[in-house]
Amino acid sequence: MMKKLYPLAFLLLLLPLLTVGQTRYLDEVFPSVSTQSNVTYGVNATVLYYSKFGQAVPEALKMDIYTPDGDTETDRPLILYFHTGNFLPFCDPNDPTICGYNGSCGGERTDSAAVEMCTRLAKMGYVVASCDYRLGWNPIALTDVLRRFGIINAAYRGVQDARTAIRYFRKSVADEGNPFGIDDDKIVVWGQGTGGYLSLTMGTLDNYLKIPLASNGKFVYDHDGNTMTPPIPMIIPQINGDIYGETVGINPADGDTLCYPNHVGFSSDYALGVNLGGASADSSWVDPGQVPLISFAVPTDNYAPYAEGIVNVPGTNLQVILAQGSYVIQQLHEAFGNQDPMLDAGITFDLTAEQQAAFAASPADVQEPAIGLYPFNMPDKDTVPGVPVTVAPWEWTSFPGKPDDPCNMNGGSSRIYIDTIMRFYAPRACFVLGLDDCISTLTGLDIVPGAEVGLNAYPNPASDFVVLTSDASHPMQEIMLYDEMGRLIKVVSSIQQSTYTLERGQIQPGRYVALIRFDQGTAVRKLIFN
């Protein structure tokens, strides 16, 4: 049975009908941005030129950093943006004048869509780093095993590089006086196309053993044809480095270094993932407690599955891997409670009707809404029924593409989709990242972080009661309890103390949100009654 789209919850009930002025992280409040190009965030081994040099070659990992002009804030959220490109260079390494080498319409950190979105996000007040990552694999290897081996190794290197970029910025905060003015507790990993594979994978690949234990044994192989010996994992930390890229990896066959550690000792954690058109290496990797995720995808995407399907090499019929896409991954994250920062905030806002209509217009078997997912339903090509006119409506380029598969060269049409992406992303990110100014704008409340007033709730989940406590210097004034439908269930007024026992009474099992008012403002706390 299809579940209902989440209704306007408690915070939305308090949303002003009109918002006057512009708000940082919701609107483009800065008219211009500056870009620092070709910043090196690490060095690691690439196999892209292996056929030429006979070994992996150390490669400087580069990025472009976008910052809002005239900004005086020094604790800004950071977005790491990873471009598309099938883990291959856009232009032929042997002849850079020949582009489309990767079978895509783009694949560089300077792609039109990448520059557009990074610029917009910086104008909203973020610091944005558009990052390269190591490329290279053989998409036309003769067997599906070799193609699977190639793609998981390419994705693994990309995940290592993304985590290296996170650590680079954390190191800059700890050791260099925070030159980019970031809050390293508020980091977003944003992937577009192939970059979306990275943002999906790195959010769930939190244990090396998930690779050899992946479903259907997809990432192990029979190395000797002997059924009596166990298969070998396609990734081995001693050879490839660990999942964070913090250990040396050496090929025992020739002593070639395949992984160089960077910024060891700093955390690779981040707060929010964003995926535009990517898919996951394995849905079994999704667990409770992982980072929230926002996804945008075309349900009929014939390259990256929306639910589950085979990923094919672009421009060929060669199969690579069985993967799960945005629809499946978002549902799992929501079921495990990973999306609670969005769900509990009741963030449907002005895209409620649009999102509901988009799901209703989706194919019949993928119409169950998920709070962090926005489907873009595209018409079929006139000449190829069942194949959408584009799987990435947010992209455009000056590269014409192939005569039978042209690239979109209309930036105006793509910017309309980017408008929707930004409107859908911004309020959800406000709550996930805890950005108080935009939360206050969205809710009409003066939101204070719970830690600022020492707010705690225990036990939680609870059976019969929840004890709410705060610092003695910050007594609670009032408690308002709302259910997921946005209905006010209970009000406790004139508390004037720092400890209060909230009795369950006749309250039904479920998830609730408490607004606790203090002299300084209102704090928010999720409560669960079993």
pLDDT at residue 5 above 70? no
User: What are phi and psi for residue 112, nearest 5 degrees?
Assistant: -55, -45
SS3 393: coil
pLDDT in tens, 466-513: 999 999 999 999 998 887 666 788 999 999 999 999 999 999 998 788
Q: According to the model, what pLDDT value does residue 76 have?
A: 97
Task: Encode 398-422 in three state secondary structure.
Answer: CCCEECCEECCCCHHHHHHHHHHHH
Across 108-120, average pLDDT: 97
Quick one: pLDDT band at residue 6, thresholds 50, 70, 90? very low
Under a CB-based contact definition with an 8 Å cutoff, are residues 206 and 289 in contact? Answer: no
Structural domains of the chain sorted by starting position, each given as residue range(s) with its CATH number in brackets:
10-442 (no CATH), 448-529 (2.60.40.3080)
pLDDT surpasses 80 at 12: no
Over residues 307-330, the mean pLDDT reads: 90
6 vs 139 pLDDT, higher one: 139
Render 173-237 in DSSP notation, one character per residue.
HHHS--TT-EEEEEEEEEEETHHHHHHHHHTT--SGGGTTT-GGGTTEE-SSS-TTS--EES--H
Q: Is the pLDDT of residue 13 over 90?
A: no
Nearest Cα residue to 374 out of 302, 306, 295? 295
How many whole angstroms separate alpha carbon 310 and alpha carbon 319? 7
Contact 511, 530 (CB under 8 A): no
pLDDT range class, residue 388, cuts 50, 70, 90: very high
Look up residue 243 and give its DSSP letter: T
Side-chain half-sphere of 287: how many Cα atoms within 13 Å?
Answer: 10
Whether residue 11 is predicted with pLDDT greater than 70 in this model: the reply is no
| pLDDT for 441 | 79
Give kind and range of the element (H or E) at residue 64.
strand 57-68
The strand pair at 257-259 and 478-483 is best described as: unpaired
Instruction: Please state whether beta strands 478-483 and 488-492 pair in parallel, antiparallel, or not at all (unpaired).
Output: antiparallel
* H, E, C per residue of 464-483: CEEEEECCCCCCECEEEEEE
Helices (H), 20-143: 50-53, 112-123
Within 13 Å, how many C-alpha atoms sit on residue 366's CB side? 25
User: What's the pLDDT tens digit per position in 34-49?
Assistant: 999 999 999 999 999 8
* C-alpha neighbours within 13 Å on the C-beta side of residue 271: 19
Residue 318 pLDDT class (50, 70, 90 cuts): confident
- Taking the C-alpha atoms of residue 231 and residue 392, their distance in angstroms, rounded to an integer, is 37
Beta strands of 350-506 (E only): which ranges?
373-375, 401-402, 405-406, 456-458, 465-469, 478-483, 488-492, 499-503
More confident residue, 2 or 277: 277
Q: How confident is the model at residue 4 (pLDDT cuts 50, 70, 90)?
A: very low
* C-alpha to C-alpha distances, 121 to 27, 33, 275, 300, 322, nearest whole angstrom: 9, 10, 15, 28, 33
Percent of the chain with pLDDT strictly greater than 70: 94
Q: What is the pLDDT of residues 49-103, one digit of tens each?
A: 887 778 899 999 999 999 999 999 999 999 999 999 999 999 998 888 999 999 9
- Four-point Cα dihedral 96, 99, 102, 108, nearest 10: 80
